[in-house]
């Protein structure tokens, strides 16, 4: 399929070299909820070689209004496995590997071995902290994206080149999507911004979201990027930690 008209317009946009790099890439998607399911679909459509689909949860009926890889018949099934089945059915050029696991220090070797890039689509701060530390240690670039209510945030973290997540992330508030809700429009925007950043990192080696935080409030029609600075005292990437 890679040599047919399937990718024709993408190749025109990215160039043959950029598209070729995508076709060789292995990307881990951590979390397959609203943002993660859309991001996995966009990556499969873009033609990445391998997708590690990581999630420990089962599909619930409440997921169906904002996800795109599951249907009513998938309720009760592991999200990772249902997502892999869907993607293999429609995108046989992509190897989707389901990993029914929690991202942690004990599982990281299996989950991230050999990946070129990580997409954080989780819905909790502790998982993002773990992703940040492991990716920093292994020099793996990753793209953070989150959606809550009508709001969206995203940023590209490249070890040794940008501030890490711990440099600028806000303290936990205790709020979650299950408490405050989330619109399907917000997760669609979050995944689009996230995947474009991932595609840029893989195909060009750079992303416009490096050292920046993308923020959008769809209800208010606000779309902005804010500069991010490195925290020299950061426990993950600060001067004392590096030395």
Confidence (pLDDT) at 240: 65
Structure tokens that stand for 43 in this block: 């990556």
Question: In the 3-class helix/strand/coil scheme, how is 119-178 assigned residue by residue?
Answer: EECCCCHHHHHHHHHHHHHHCCCEEEEEEEECEEEEEEECCCCCCCHHHHCCCCCCCCHH
Confidence (pLDDT) at 239: 77
- C-alpha span between 207 and 212 (Å, rounded): 10
Domains of the chain: 5-242 (3.40.50.720)
Q: Which residues pair with 52 in a beta bridge?
A: 28, 97
Confidence (pLDDT) at 243: 45
Confidence (pLDDT) at 102: 81
- Residue 68 a catalytic site member: no
Q: How confident is the model at residue 173 (pLDDT cuts 50, 70, 90)?
A: low
Mean pLDDT of 32-41: 98
* Tens digit of each residue's pLDDT (9 = 90 or more) over 88-130: 999 999 999 999 988 777 788 788 999 999 999 998 888 899 9
Q: Decide if 110 contacts 101 (C-beta within 8 A).
A: yes
Confidence (pLDDT) at 176: 57
| Average pLDDT of the chain to the nearest whole number | 92
Catalytic residue among 68, 135, 164, 177: 177
pTM: 0.93
Residue 198 has pLDDT above 70, yes or no: yes
Q: How confident is the model at residue 178 (pLDDT cuts 50, 70, 90)?
A: low
Confidence (pLDDT) at 123: 85
Mean pLDDT of 136-164: 97
Smallest Cα–Cα separation from 70: which of 40, 46, 45, 49? 40
Q: How many residues are present in the chain?
A: 243
Smallest Cα–Cα separation from 97: which of 135, 49, 145, 46? 49
End-to-end CA distance of the chain: 48
Query: What is the full DSSP assignment across 76-89?
Result: TSBHHHHHHHHHHH
Q: How confident is the model at residue 175 (pLDDT cuts 50, 70, 90)?
A: low
Confidence (pLDDT) at 119: 98
Residue 235 has pLDDT above 70, yes or no: yes
Residue bearing the bigger pLDDT, 242 or 113? 113
């Amino acid at each position: 399929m890679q040599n047919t008209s399937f990718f024709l317009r993408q190749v025109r946009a990215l160039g043959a070299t950029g598209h070729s790099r995508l076709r060789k890439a292995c990307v881990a998607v951590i979390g397959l909820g609203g943002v993660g399911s859309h991001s996995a679909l966009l990556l499969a459509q873009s033609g990445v070689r391998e997708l590690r689909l990581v999630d420990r949860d089962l599909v619930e009926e409440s997921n169906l209004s904002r996800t795109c890889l599951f249907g009513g018949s998938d309720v009760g099934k592991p999200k990772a496995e249902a997502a892999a089945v869907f993607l293999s059915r429609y995108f046989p050029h992509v190897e989707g590997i389901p990993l029914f696991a929690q991202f942690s220090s004990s599982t990281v070797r299996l989950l991230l071995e050999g990946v070129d890039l990580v997409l954080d689509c989780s819905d909790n701060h502790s998982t993002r902290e773990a992703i940040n530390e492991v990716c920093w240690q292994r020099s793996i670039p990753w793209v953070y994206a989150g959606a809550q209510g009508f709001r969206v945030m995203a940023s590209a973290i490249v070890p040794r080149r940008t501030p890490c997540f711990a440099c600028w992330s806000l303290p936990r508030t205790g709020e979650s999507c299950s408490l405050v809700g989330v619109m399907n429009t917000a997760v669609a925007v979050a995944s689009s911004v996230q995947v474009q950043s991932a595609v840029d990192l893989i195909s060009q080696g750079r992303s416009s979201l490096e050292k920046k935080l993308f923020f959008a409030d769809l209800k208010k029609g606000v779309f902005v990027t804010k500069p991010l600075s490195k925290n020299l005292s950061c426990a993950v990437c600060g001067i004392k930690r590096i030395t």
